[in-house]
Amino acid sequence: MTTIGHTLTGLAFAVLCVPERWRSRRGRAFALAAFAVLANAPDLSIPGWGHDLYHVSHSLFVNAGLIAVAVLALAASRRARALVGGWPVIACGAAAWLSHLVLDSFYNHGLGIAIYWPLSEGRLNLSMPWFSTLRPSWALDAHCLRVALTEIVAYGSLLLACLGARRFVVGLRSRGGR
């Protein structure tokens, strides 16, 4: 999977949960960027992480542990929780992060991901034939464009659906129909 699909999915989570009070462009831009990073967290280029140690960075247990540490740090500080938008934003941030693992399992290389490491050698493989991976030494060719367009259509549709849902809910609230 490319960063396109992960980023669009992270943005979809942000659209669903970022508070309306964050009306400033800077606040909204920061929230969108934070969710994009969270959705790409298992692939971040950090030594000993990402594609350097794929089985570690794509393990449900490792990622859940890192998320738990972040949640505990936020739980310890009411000010920090308020700064990030409260528990709904924290929950959506964790979901955006964990969505990476599910999305990577969709790709048709047939290998799946070592989601159960270190407890099991089992892999999660929810392969879908229309999702392809890029070659390690990718070039801007027809295959690369097809992969990018497939992700834009699939995950862009998810983002558009979330934007529509958010607009609908905000419209209901503004008319007093909680």
Range of the domain at 69: 3-174
Domain count of the chain? 1
pLDDT at 152: 97
pLDDT, tens digit, for every residue of 24-63?
788 889 999 999 999 999 999 999 898 888 899 999 999 9
pLDDT, tens digit, for every residue of 118-172?
999 899 999 888 888 876 666 788 988 999 999 999 999 999 999 999 989 877 7
pLDDT at 177: 58
pTM: 0.90
For the range 85-93, what are the long-range contacts, defined as Cβ-Cβ under 8 Å and sequence gap of 24 or more?
85/17, 85/18, 85/19, 85/22, 85/31, 86/19, 88/17, 89/17, 89/18, 89/19, 89/31, 91/17, 92/13, 92/14, 92/16, 92/17, 92/35, 93/13, 93/34, 93/35, 93/38
Over residues 66-82, the mean pLDDT reads 94
Token pair in block for residue 84 = 């990030």
